[in-house]
Amino acid sequence: MDLSFTPEQIAFREEVRSWIATALPPHLAALAAVDAQYGMKESMEWHKILYQKGWVAPHWPKEHGGPGLDATRRFILTEELELAGTPILSPFGLHMVGPLLMQFGAEAQQKRFLPPILAGEEVWCQGYSEPNAGSDLASLQTRAEDDGAGHFVVNGQKTWTTYAQYADWIFCLVRTDASVKKQAGISFLLIDMKSPGVTVRPTLTIGGTPSFSDTFFENVVVPKENVVGPLNGGWTVAKALLGHERTLIAAVGYSRRQLRRCKRIAAEVMIGGKPALEHPSYRARLAHLEIKLRAHQMANYRALAGAQLGHAPGPESSILKLVGSEIQQQCFELAADIMGENSLSWFNDPGVVPPLEQWVAPAYCYNRATTIYGGSNEIQKNIIAKWILGLPDR
């Protein structure tokens, strides 16, 4: 297996870097320079710019409006965007329900939903978790009942619905048959968030953003043609989507950028009259993280090589999710340790702490969630034990 890049791929990387340098508007570049937090407004602005370039969905095939890039060029483009610190796009349409519709959706569903996802005209959110069905997703209780007139009537609650307050549509797992074993009676349903009976209650997180919401459904009427895949076959669709989501969470470029910020902070913060970067304990922690991140990067390259051969994400995506989420948290933990008392302050006005440190504390708090969302890391360890190591169920 050759994990090196060809001259053509290296040239493509340079093309991406040059384009980002000119296409990123100055006000977004200023935020990127200090690794600031972006809101939905900035994300959608950048979405439209990438859409005009044709790079908003590098993993989409040409027949659905994508650029037709191969797996390696898709990876390069994504990594360069992460390294440049450009706004992170909402993943729910581009990376989750979009690819699912290509794989499982009817032609009419693809024609209706894919173009506005690509253009950034319709924003999506994900309705998987419930108050008593998070890691044990198959225990979900939101039900969709046939009204005998071509519709389902949906009742229930979803929780941790990321940025539901901005979404036009939600893809949901709903129970459509309660008489069979719990995984067999679930369907994958698309619901218009403007439907009567849908209520969203955002929650301000400790990270300083209203990232998560509770979403309630009270007698919400949904056309039957909004089921994706077979009726009661939603569990298979859901597992395919989670594979894409966990690969996404590997976030190698993002972690490289955060580690780079750690080093910059360590070079500026003075401890005992010399930069933190010169203290053996911090140097050792930075080196440990660098080695772990390089190993993670190579694991991601192996998955990339598999994708280049046409292999769909398998259980190895759990390794990428597990390790990638831990590295993200460790980067922010190390940055906070180096900052000392400055890390105890967040929601700062400009100038209260150095610009590079301003957004570390909120990001540290928000990233507590990385080892939970996308399937908790405990669940990933079970998948790795069973499907990769071949260990028996307990």
pLDDT in tens, 287-299: 999 999 999 988 8
What pLDDT digit, counting tens, does each position of 90-134 carry?
A: 989 998 999 999 999 999 999 999 999 999 999 999 998 899 877
Stretch 347-365: mean pLDDT: 83
Q: Identify any residues that bridge with 133 across adjacent strands, giving them in sequence order.
A: 130
Supply the pLDDT for residue 183.
83
pLDDT tens string 35-68: 888 889 999 999 999 999 999 999 899 999 999 8
| 81: Cα within 13 Å, side-chain hemisphere | 21
pLDDT of the residue at 186: 94
The single-letter code of the amino acid at 88 is: I
Please check whether residue 338 is in contact with residue 275, taking contact to mean a CB–CB distance below 8 angstroms.
Answer: no
- Across 170-197, average pLDDT: 94
For 199-258, the pLDDT digits (tens) are: 999 988 887 788 889 999 999 999 999 999 999 999 888 877 766 665 566 788 889 999
Distance, in Å, from the CA atom of 336 to the CA atom of 360, rounded to the nearest integer, reads 7
Please answer whether residues 315 and 387 qualify as being in contact, where contact means their C-beta atoms are separated by less than 8 angstroms: yes
pLDDT at 362: 87
Q: Mean pLDDT, the chain, as a whole number?
A: 90
Give the CA-trace dihedral at 188, 191, 197, 198, to 10 degrees. Answer: 100
Is residue 325 predicted with pLDDT exceeding 60? Answer: yes
Confirm whether 130 is a catalytic residue.
no
More confident call, 137 vs 12: 12
pLDDT at 388 over 70: yes
Q: Which of 79, 80, 82, 245 is catalytic?
A: 245
> Which amino acid is residue 176, in one-letter code?
T
Query: For 171-179, what is the mean pLDDT?
Result: 94
Give the number of other CB atoms < 10 A from CB of residue 74: 20
Taking only the tens place, the pLDDT of each residue in 271-281 is: 999 999 999 99
Res 351 pLDDT > 90: no
Round to whole Å and give the CA distance between 331 and 256. 9
The DSSP code sequence of 303-318 is HHHHHHTTPPP-THHH
